[in-house]
Amino acid sequence: MVMQLTAKQSIFLPRIAQIVRVDSLSDREKVFEFVFDDGKELGHKPGQFVEVSIFGVGEAPISVTSSPTHKGSFELAVRAAGSLTNHLHTLGKGAKVGIRGPFGNGFPLDTLKGQDLLFVAGGIGLFPLRSLINYVMDTRQDFGEVTTLFGCRSPQERIFLDQLDTWNSSKDMCFLETVDRVPDDSWKGNVGVITTLFPKINIDPKKTYAIVVGPPVMYRFVIAECLKKGLAEDHIIMSLERRMKCGVGKCGHCQINGVYCCQEGPVFTYAQVKSLKEAV
Amino acid sequence: MQNRVISRQDLAGFVDDLIKTKSAGDVIGIKAQGNKFNFGPLKSATELRLDYDISLLPPKKYFFPQQETVLKYEVEPAFKVEPVVEERMLCIIGVHPFDIRALQLFDAVYGGNNPDPNYFLKRNNATIIGVDCLNPIPKSFAASMGTNTVEEGFDLMLTDLGGDWFVTVGSNRGDSMMKKYGKGREATNVDLEKRNKVRRDAAKKYKTSLKMKPDEIPALLDANWESPVFKERSATCFSCGSCVMVCPTCVCFDVQDDPALNLKGGERYRRWDACMLPGFAAVASGENFREHKEQRFRHRMYRKGKYLLERYKYLGCVGCGRCGTSCLADIALPADTYNLLKEGK
């Protein structure tokens, strides 16, 4: 087998990007806006991810939180959790990083066009989902009814507050949120896990696609609620977290059974995931 | 392409010629290492041990080194990053058929949609001279996997006929190498039958066997996800990763940075990684998607017997027996697990 290749086609070679803005979202989370040195677009679909390089520290997979409808730059929202992300949090405007990607399949936009959408975001599951929600809001005429459910552990962990306010007051979206618990009485909203919001919504199961992103533990409970609402298994779409080390289907770290999450995923339907025993 | 028969002396001359002229690049051969064998740079044909049983490490290390620099970066004074791709021309002598089969899987994995120059700029220029394995190790079950012989994936394949060597020509490159060397004679049907008999006799020497056809493994695994065999077999697993480190079909890697002392630059390298190590599927949030050793053990068995086959059309196990030989707990050999599942234990 002969593959005519050159070093320039290295699967490890990133493009250089610069941080042009950093905003704090919470104690542990920040959003970074990047522009490529070569001036080109990232060219992503909502739901795709990139590999961020900080040289000397390493690389980590981060989902893109901005919508492709936003041109000229892209945003990554990042929780400081591992070595790369903790280091990224120390960087400010002007710092340079490497970016590979975008990788992964992304959300199935063609399938979703013209349909009613139910977004379900748990905690920082909102990061990848925000890319799609903003895409939908920017091309609102292409979609039917939009409902968004957002849950996090406490009021302090709410993120993108301005955006939550906008969605809450928008006539183009039914927005409901909840927190698992409250430390004091400053929170006037819903209290309880995200599944407690399901009885409050009305959806047409035939026309609705649920797009669910959250921590691994959230999926099985939310899926059960979606099925109870009458959604078909292939109308429940989720994005799965794995250790995407190379992003190009070689290194093996992101395998879910025989599936490479960085290639066939990270977005799967419940119908697909059901046959993957290690998925949720 | 015409198969040939050459004398022992002429084969040695052929190898010494390759070493001297470097016409096929650097010559790597199978050599003794203590009382075991390994591939290494060949200085003379006399070092070659074509009668070997198994090499400690499979020849994949020449295309997918244990550690390999893939990028060089500079953060000061200028921010710069460059790919590092070593191109090499190699001739590897003494590759067993099952290791050739493993390289075919590697080609499929490292090709595909995102072909890897670090692999192919070494692999493309490699000449593979195989040798039929006549002294299999006790743990090898290649004969029952159908990987004790191969019909493709080599330039030349040597078979020891006792006195002379039978040379099966497997590629145009191999054909022209033999023609250029010119020694020996064209093989006859009698020679070919001799070769086949040597192969048949060698197949009888395998002490371990898979007690089913290899293509039955995926369905067997499909029916046994919940089998207690995985937990029982893995109970004594040290999670040391030895089985993976010696495996000719294990393709996975980790990527790390190695900053220079002055912190102004450095290198990024990849190195072999192992799905049997506890942190392989862990993510920064603290979630570990295969936290328990029975999950990792089961994953390896499915990977070898099903996942790779479905993805790349090659089984992920070639039956070489290295993992079973290196495993301190003696649990790693896929055939043992598959046989237990088949017996319903």
Last residue of a domain, one of A81, A103, A125: A103
Q: What is the pLDDT along chain B (345 residues), one digit of tens a residue?
A: 899 999 999 999 999 999 999 999 999 999 999 999 999 999 999 999 999 999 999 999 999 999 999 999 999 888 999 999 999 999 999 999 999 999 999 999 999 889 999 999 999 999 999 999 999 999 999 999 999 999 999 999 999 999 999 999 999 999 999 999 989 999 999 999 999 999 999 999 999 999 999 999 999 999 999 999 999 999 999 999 999 999 999 999 999 999 999 999 999 999 999 999 999 999 988 889 999 999 999 999 999 999 999 999 999 999 999 999 999 999 999 999 999 999 986
- Which residues of chain A are within 8 Å of residue B85 when distances are taken between CB atoms? 6-7, 10
Position A280 scores a pLDDT of: 79
Same structural domain, A51 and A140 = no
What CATH number is associated with residue A206? 3.40.50.80
- Which residues of chain A are within 8 Å of residue B254 when distances are taken between CB atoms? 245, 251, 253
Low-confidence ranges of chain A (pLDDT < 50): none
Position A279 scores a pLDDT of: 85
Position B76 scores a pLDDT of: 87
Q: Give the total number of structural domains in chain A.
A: 2
> Of A16, A55, A243, which is closest to B283 when you measure between CB atoms?
A243
Closest chain B CA to residue A10: B117
Same structural domain, A187 and A95 = no
Return phi, psi of residue B271, to 5°.
Answer: -145, 160
CA distance A81 to chain B (A): 6
Contact B14, B182 (CB under 8 A): no
Return phi, psi of residue B261, to 5°.
Answer: -60, -35
In a domain, A124, yes or no: yes
Q: Please judge whether B114 and A250 are an interchain contact, meaning their C-beta atoms are less than 8 angstroms apart.
A: yes
In a domain, A276, yes or no: no
Position A2 scores a pLDDT of: 62
Position B256 scores a pLDDT of: 95
Peptide bond into B334 cis (omega under 30): no
Same structural domain, A39 and A90 = yes
What CATH number is associated with residue A95? 2.40.30.10
> Of A3, A216, A258, which is closest to B120 when you measure between CB atoms?
A3
In a domain, A58, yes or no: yes
Position B305 scores a pLDDT of: 97
CA distance B254 to chain A (A): 7
In a domain, A29, yes or no: yes
Contact B335, B209 (CB under 8 A): yes
ipTM, interface predicted TM-score of the complex: 0.91
Pairing of strands B90-95, A74-79: unpaired
List the domain boundaries for chain B: 4-203, 214-343
Position B345 scores a pLDDT of: 61
Domain that holds residue A31: 13-103
* Strand ranges inside A141-194, DSSP E: 146-152, 174-179, 190-191
